[in-house]
Homo-oligomer: A and B are copies of this chain.
Amino acid sequence: MKDVQSDIRFKPVAPRKIYQYILEQFVQMVSAKVIKPGDKIPSERELALAFHVSRPSVREALRVLEIIGLIEVQAGGGAYLKEMELGPFIGVVAPLLFSRENFDLELLDFRETLEIRAVELLAQHMTDDDVTMLKTSLDAMEHAVSTNDPEAGATADVAFHRTLLEASKSYILQKVMDLVVSLFEHSVRGGRSIVLERREDARQLYLDHLHIYRALRNREFDKARNLVVSHLQMVRQLYVMH
* Chain A residues packing against B (C-beta within 8 Å): 15, 17, 19, 23, 27-28, 30-32, 56, 59-60, 63-64, 67-68, 70, 75, 84, 89, 92-93, 95-96, 99-100, 103, 106-107, 109-110, 113-114, 117, 170-173, 176
B23, B27, B75: which contacts A15 (Cβ < 8 A)?
Answer: B75
A70 to B95, CA, bound (A): 13
**Least CB distance, A233 to chain B, in whole angstroms:** 15
Q: Report B-chain residues with C-beta under 8 Å of the C-beta of A63.
A: 19, 60, 63-64
B171 A95 Cβ-Cβ under 8 A: no
Nearest B residue to A74 via CB reads B14
B172 A110 Cβ-Cβ under 8 A: yes
A95 B31 Cβ-Cβ under 8 A: yes
Nearest B residue to A28 via CB reads B95
Q: Report B-chain residues with C-beta under 8 Å of the C-beta of A171.
A: 100, 103, 106
B95 A27 Cβ-Cβ under 8 A: yes
B27, B32, B56, B113: which contacts A92 (Cβ < 8 A)?
Answer: B27
Q: Which secondary structure dominates chain A's binding surface? A: helix
A59 to B60, CA, bound (A): 8
**Least CB distance, A199 to chain B, in whole angstroms:** 21
Q: Report B-chain residues with C-beta under 8 Å of the C-beta of A173.
A: 110
A92 B110 Cβ-Cβ under 8 A: no
A108 to B117, CA, bound (A): 13
B117 A113 Cβ-Cβ under 8 A: yes
- CB-defined A-B contacts under 8 Å, sample of 24: A17-B75, A23-B92, A27-B92, A27-B95, A27-B96, A31-B95, A31-B96, A32-B99, A59-B60, A60-B63, A64-B64, A67-B67, A67-B68, A68-B93, A70-B96, A84-B93, A89-B89, A100-B171, A103-B172, A106-B171, A109-B172, A110-B172, A110-B173, A113-B114
